[in-house]
Amino acid sequence: MTTTQNALILPIIGLTDDASAEGVAQALRGVPGVESAHVDLVTAEATLAVSSKNPPTPDALSAAVEAAGQSVPMEKTSITIGGMTCAACIMHVEHALSGVSGVQKAQVNLATEKASVEFMPGVVSLDSLRKAVEDAGYIMSGVVGDGTTNEEEIERLSKTHEVRELRNKLAVSLTLGLVILMGTLEDLFPWMPDFLQNHYTLWSLATPVIFWTGWDFFTSGLGAVRHRTSNMFTLIAIGTGTAYAFSAAVTVFPGFFEARGVESAVYFDTAAIIIGLILLGRYLEAKAKGQTSEAIRRLMGLQAKTARVLRDGKEEDIPVEQVFVGDLIVVRPGENIPVDGTVIDGASEVDESMLTGESLPVEKAAGAHVFGATTNRTGSFTFRAGKVGTDTALSQIIRLVEEAQSSKAPIQKMADLVASYFVPIVVGVASLAFILWFTFGPSPSLTYSMLTFVAVLIIACPCALGLATPTAIMVGTGIGAANGVLIRSAEALERAGEIQTIVLDKTGTLTVGKPSVTDIIPIGVTEAEVLRLAASAERGSEHALGEALVTAAEERTIELEQPTDFEAISGQGIVAKVGSTMIAIGNSVMMASRNVGLGETAAETEALATSGKTPVYIAADDTLIGIVAIADTIKPEAAEVMAKLRAMGMEPVMLTGDNRKTAETIAKQVGIDRIVADVMPQDKSVKIKELQAEGLAVAMVGDGINDAPALAQADIGIAMGTGTDVAMESAGVTLLRGDLHGLLTTFNLSRATIRTIRQNLFWAFFYNTALIPIAAGAFYPVFTTWGNGVPSGLEFMFGELGFLNPMLAAGAMAFSSVSVITNSLRLKRFKPGG
């Protein structure tokens, strides 16, 4: 099913140049059963014509490729197996699967009913696996899905459950808290019915708030104490616990407190409202998390449910979970593409905006990669499934975003560390206040000391501290995603702000990574005629060079003819008939073999070669009619972005495997001074290390698989491109659009986020710390002992005696939480690249 009757496509890794590609092709031709073999350097694939009678064994093919010094990558997939009843079944299924030609390894897990299969792509089809499993007496229900169509998964991601539970708790705690509040403050709410002012009623109302809605805070806080540390929940637990226990004691033994001359006051309202406010913060946080997942949720909705697979020449609709690597899938206009893959036939425009943010549809022809969940627009095409299940770009993106949201930034760790010191200090201050008031305070000293103790614990509760980092990170990563910048971890977001040197890979990062026609030198005919003949001849070609010619012709709206007798000659070029003219396009070797005289062109081709361009000769009926120069073009925004990076205090460095001369030409154009040229792919990470040894914080920007080690080595790796590459796995940041402006977005966003976190931490500490002395009753002596009582204008804050009203303390805390959240939401106004 993977290919047509006797054609076979094998991916090859390790190809570096034409010679290595030819080496592999030759090795494959030597395998019995292989009739012809062609290796394309650009797509890194070997196309084989094999005998349908005695096809070559996969092992022989992979051995041949390995003998040529390259390798065939193995794909891994997970399939579900039904009908396994006993331990022996594991072996039956494993035997059956390993017996399939092309399967390297099969491992069965009885408990999960899944088999993990390692196989050679292009050779093994889902059907052959299914047949093997069914012949052994079991059922194969398909490839283990990535859950993108799974409602539960969507719900889990959008945190619906968490949000709902928090919302319920929040509603209960705030409602009861308000009722308790109004019942407690008899003077303000005299119209409240008597039974609601009864202390026993208030107690019974406060109990579910503490023991149900706030229970998590107690378990978490006490858990920390058990580990001899403390967190913000420790403080909440102590504060509200004290208020609750004290009030309960007052309710049961009012006489004890009244006997000392103070009216018995209960603080059930304080306990309930504090828990309500903290729940509010947590609810907002959970909701924000859910909202950041909204984009993902929408993406998931776009995932096609079925795929139209070509089997035995017939189109067949199957559930997307059953699509297997190597299946041929037909996509009609307007349909969503079910999985990732490579177009093999037909052409169309695909709307990839949901994946890359790029609003213009992207043209897709044979050889182009297409991605699941994107929408096909105009044409229809057939593509070969390359990645399914959890391997698709969509699934990877979802995983990356999830990881980023759950990771802790170092600055968050700092916040926790500070909190762990803050808590014992606060408890110490509260205890000190208690002792001082008890010893030196006016009568009734126990009530005063209890009041100050409770007030200090409550005011110091750093609940806004807990919100400071996560809210900023969440808004920051969310904004990044909306602008085509995927930030994988909170750490990456933070580190990006400290980068001094930014190393950029040349091909595919600074340049488009796709050759285009730069010069046309006609000989004896017009420029348009050269292009018309050359592009027409290359029309059927899948080679990058051919594409460049066709694109150049289309740009000049030159009408092309359909070539006949197209023939690709490996390592040389192509020959095809356009009309009645025989066109040959290729290198000097080809021209020599066809006895085409190159005339006086040596100087010109030499000049082209030194400026980093590849000259291609074009001959009509074995007469040279022109030379076309092909080169990778620099991204239009490159120079502007480099200048801006410099203005932000970062030095761009170009890293390339090209020779210094070519590198310098490009570096000059984009405005880079420092060049590291002639670098072998495997040495890229070494070069990063060298820069780091200079004491620089280095960012690496790259796109290819060979950049992966360097991306991982750098302080922060930034992967370019469509986000399907291995590079993405090793990078902390992925620029979905492949647009260098994303770099500016990344660094600006990082700086803005870190700034916001610092502001948040300041506000969280500022409010709490500033109010501690007031809560401890330090103003009592100021107003009452030495002064003439609290001035009437300040009574709202200090009451009659110079204490902080516990109720106002709770309000102030709410204010600090709200200001932290608001400050984080201010990040939403962030302008990318600004």
Partner 1 sequence: MSPKILGLFGKNETALDPVCGMTVGVKKSPGGTHMFGETVYYFCGPGCRVAFAKEPVAYLSGEKKMDM
The residue type found at 787 is G
For residues 282 and 499, give the distance between their C-alpha atoms in angstroms, rounded to a whole number.
33
Binding status of residue 188 toward partner 1 by CB under 8 A? no
Distances (CA, A) of 8 to 32, 50, 102, 253: 14, 7, 13, 88
Binding status of residue 137 toward partner 1 by CB under 8 A? yes
Binds partner 1 by CB under 8 A, chosen from 88, 111, 360, 693:
88
Nearer to partner 1, 83 or 290 (CB): 83
**Burial tier of 677 (Cβ tally within 10 Å: 0-12, 13-18, 19+):** middle
Stretch that binds partner 1, among 21-29, 85-93, 433-441, 737-745 (CB under 8 A): 85-93
Q: What is the DSSP string of 679-714?
A: --GGGHHHHHHHHHHTT--EEEEE-SGGGHHHHHHS
Q: How far is the CB of 110 from partner 1 (least distance, A)?
A: 11
For residues 543 and 568, give the distance between their C-alpha atoms in angstroms, rounded to a whole number.
10
Binding status of residue 84 toward partner 1 by CB under 8 A? yes
Q: How far is the CB of 89 from partner 1 (least distance, A)?
A: 5
- The torsion angle over the Cα atoms of residues 56, 60, 66 and 68, rounded to 10 degrees, is -60
Binding status of residue 83 toward partner 1 by CB under 8 A? yes
Binding status of residue 359 toward partner 1 by CB under 8 A? no
Q: How far is the CB of 21 from partner 1 (least distance, A)?
A: 44
Catalytic, out of 391, 505, 658, 725: 505
Residues pairing with 385 in the sheet: 341
Binds partner 1 by CB under 8 A, chosen from 9, 64, 93, 698:
93
Distances (CA, A) of 368 to 310, 386, 428, 570, 724: 19, 12, 67, 21, 13
For residues 742 and 502, give the distance between their C-alpha atoms in angstroms, rounded to a whole number.
13
For residues 132 and 139, give the distance between their C-alpha atoms in angstroms, rounded to a whole number.
10
As given in the structure block, the two tokens for residue 167 are 């919302």
Nearer to partner 1, 130 or 635 (CB): 130
Binds partner 1 by CB under 8 A, chosen from 85, 595, 785, 792:
85
By 3-state DSSP, what share of the chain in percent is helix, strand and coil, each rounded to 5? 50, 20, 30
Residues pairing with 11 in the sheet: 45
Q: How far is the CB of 80 from partner 1 (least distance, A)?
A: 15
Stretch that binds partner 1, among 37-45, 81-89, 604-612, 771-779 (CB under 8 A): 81-89
Nearer to partner 1, 135 or 315 (CB): 135
Q: How far is the CB of 94 from partner 1 (least distance, A)?
A: 11
Stretch that binds partner 1, among 83-91, 144-152, 178-186, 469-477 (CB under 8 A): 83-91
Nearer to partner 1, 72 or 84 (CB): 84
Binding status of residue 89 toward partner 1 by CB under 8 A? yes
Q: How far is the CB of 138 from partner 1 (least distance, A)?
A: 5
Q: How far is the CB of 135 from partner 1 (least distance, A)?
A: 7
Nearer to partner 1, 131 or 377 (CB): 131
Return the closest-CA partner of residue 740 out of 760, 718, 759. Answer: 718
Beta-carbon contacts of 172 under 8 Å, excluding residues fewer than 6 positions away, are 208, 209, 212, 213
Binding status of residue 297 toward partner 1 by CB under 8 A? no
Binds partner 1 by CB under 8 A, chosen from 15, 50, 58, 138:
138
Binding status of residue 109 toward partner 1 by CB under 8 A? no
Q: How far is the CB of 372 from partner 1 (least distance, A)?
A: 33
Nearer to partner 1, 91 or 643 (CB): 91
Nearer to partner 1, 87 or 111 (CB): 87
Nearer to partner 1, 87 or 188 (CB): 87
Residue 505: active-site member: yes
Binding status of residue 171 toward partner 1 by CB under 8 A? no
**Burial tier of 753 (Cβ tally within 10 Å: 0-12, 13-18, 19+):** buried
Nearer to partner 1, 133 or 810 (CB): 133
Pair type for strands 501-505 and 698-702: parallel
Nearer to partner 1, 86 or 603 (CB): 86
Binds partner 1 by CB under 8 A, chosen from 5, 17, 54, 86:
86
* Residues in contact with partner 1, shown as a per-residue x/- string from 770 to 809 under the rule CB under 8 A: ----------------------------------------
Q: Are 756 and 824 in contact (CB under 8 A)?
A: yes
Binds partner 1 by CB under 8 A, chosen from 20, 42, 44, 92:
92
Binding status of residue 91 toward partner 1 by CB under 8 A? yes
Q: Are 641 and 741 in contact (CB under 8 A)?
A: yes
Please, what is the end-to-end C-alpha distance for the chain in angstroms? 51
Beta-carbon contacts of 393 under 8 Å, excluding residues fewer than 6 positions away, are 340, 355, 371, 372, 387, 722, 723, 724
For residues 340 and 392, give the distance between their C-alpha atoms in angstroms, rounded to a whole number.
6
Interface with partner 1: number of residues (CB under 8 A): 14
Stretch that binds partner 1, among 135-143, 404-412, 426-434, 738-746 (CB under 8 A): 135-143
Rounded (10°) angle between helices 741-775 and 463-482: 170
- Look at the chain and count its residues: 834
Binds partner 1 by CB under 8 A, chosen from 5, 17, 54, 87:
87
Q: How far is the CB of 84 from partner 1 (least distance, A)?
A: 7
Q: Are 703 and 720 in contact (CB under 8 A)?
A: yes
Binds partner 1 by CB under 8 A, chosen from 135, 403, 554, 690:
135
Beta-carbon contacts of 755 under 8 Å, excluding residues fewer than 6 positions away, are none
Return the closest-CA partner of residue 510 out of 363, 399, 412, 612. Answer: 612
Binding status of residue 110 toward partner 1 by CB under 8 A? no
Nearer to partner 1, 92 or 755 (CB): 92
Which residues are part of the catalytic machinery? 505
Chain contacts with partner 1 (rule: CB under 8 A):
83-89, 91-93, 135-138
